[in-house]
């Protein structure tokens, strides 16, 4: 047995199998492996969950259209929590949304521009329901944005985006979001959330918006309790999601703060931890 095999975390088991009706999982660092791929066993699992009447829900900071593209073959069998909980969609129909005021969007765009004039290598993405919008167009920035936004519109001036409902403003930095972006936008914290959603990304949203609230909206719409809910995450934008479910799992690769918030730990994203844990907890055997 290799050292890696010896330290490989096994999925938890429970003496009594829980009655689960809703399962939500983050994407990056959780469902996706280190090569940004979804495991082949996810697809039969999602179909089996649907057959059993269990709702599977990708819950991500990614754009709805990006999630829809990744889950195209099973789109009718899942519900999407997109844009860090600001937009919940089932079979193309909105379940809930939490949008920014346009004057706030304008102030955020101006703040990001100021950061750039001070030497920070940053760019803003205005995330609307119909599209995401950018004004920065250089190839390195586009390569990063294109990973997460499948429907993207280039505009001359982000402040002119007034004909869409804006869910959040995302800021990408080639440096550290925690050190370069979040402190610079601290002035917005009195009225809005500034969430570090990845090493290079920060999201600015209403104070009422997060993945946990997205799950609660979905629970209310479907008549599902937190005792019937299982969630998986790895990073700080998954914190509130841990509070929305009795069966909350931090991935083995998760941020220490998230591990402290979750009730259980699942194998890492590189070990297909989500699929293996769901299969273990629900008694499914094909994986």
Nearest by Cα to 213 from 190, 199, 193: 193
Reduced 3-state DSSP string for the chain: CCHHHHCCCCCCCCCCCCCCCEEEECHHHHHCCCCCCCCCCHHHHHHHHHHCCCEEEEECCCCHHHHHHHCHHHHHHEEEEEHHHCEEEECCEEEEECCCCHHHHHHHHHHHHHHHHCCCCEEEEEEECCCEEECCCCHHHHHHHCCCCCCEEECCCHHHCCCCCEEEEEEEECCCHHHHHCHHHHHHCCCEEEEECCCCEEEEEECCCCHHHHHHHHHHHHCCCHHHEEEEECCHHHHHHHCCCCEEEEECCCCHHHHHHCCEEECCHHHCHHHHHHHHHHCCCCC
Backbone angles phi, psi at 284, to 5 degrees: -95, 145
Asked if residue 20 lies in contact with residue 281, where contact means CB atoms within 8 angstroms, the answer is yes
Choice among 26, 98, 203, 252 that is catalytic? 26
Q: In the annotation, is 163 catalytic?
A: no
Asked if residue 225 lies in contact with residue 210, where contact means CB atoms within 8 angstroms, the answer is no
Which residues are the active-site residues?
26
């Amino acid at each position: 047995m290799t050292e890696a095999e010896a330290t490989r975390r096994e999925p938890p088991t429970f003496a009594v199998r829980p009655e689960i009706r809703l399962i939500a999982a983050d994407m990056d660092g959780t469902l996706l492996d280190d090569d940004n791929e979804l495991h082949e066993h996810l697809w039969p699992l999602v179909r089996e969950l649907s057959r059993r009447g269990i709702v599977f829900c990708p819950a991500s900071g990614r754009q709805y259209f990006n999630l829809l593209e990744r889950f195209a073959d099973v789109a009718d069998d899942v519900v999407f929590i997109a844009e860090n909980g600001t937009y919940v969609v089932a079979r193309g129909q909105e379940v809930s949304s939490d949008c920014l005021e346009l004057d706030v969007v304008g102030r955020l765009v101006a703040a990001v521009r100021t950061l750039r004039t001070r030497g920070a290598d940053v760019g803003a993405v205005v995330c609307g329901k119909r599209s995401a919008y950018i004004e920065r167009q250089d190839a390195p920035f586009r390569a990063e944005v294109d990973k997460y936004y499948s429907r993207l519109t280039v505009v001359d001036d982000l402040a002119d985006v007034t004909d869409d409902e804006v869910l959040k403003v995302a800021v990408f930095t080639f440096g550290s979001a925690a050190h370069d972006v979040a402190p610079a936008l601290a002035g917005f914290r009195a009225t809005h959330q500034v969430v570090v959603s990845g090493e290079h990304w920060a999201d600015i949203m209403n104070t009422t918006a997060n993945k946990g609230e997205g799950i609660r909206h979905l629970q209310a719409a479907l008549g599902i309790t937190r005792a019937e809910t299982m969630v998986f995450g790895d990073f700080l934008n998954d914190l509130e999601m841990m509070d929305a479910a009795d069966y909350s799992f931090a991935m083995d690769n998760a941020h220490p703060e998230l591990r402290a918030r979750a009730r259980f730990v699942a194998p890492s994203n590189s070990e297909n931890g989500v699929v293996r844990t769901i299969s273990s907890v629900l008694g499914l055997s094909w994986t």
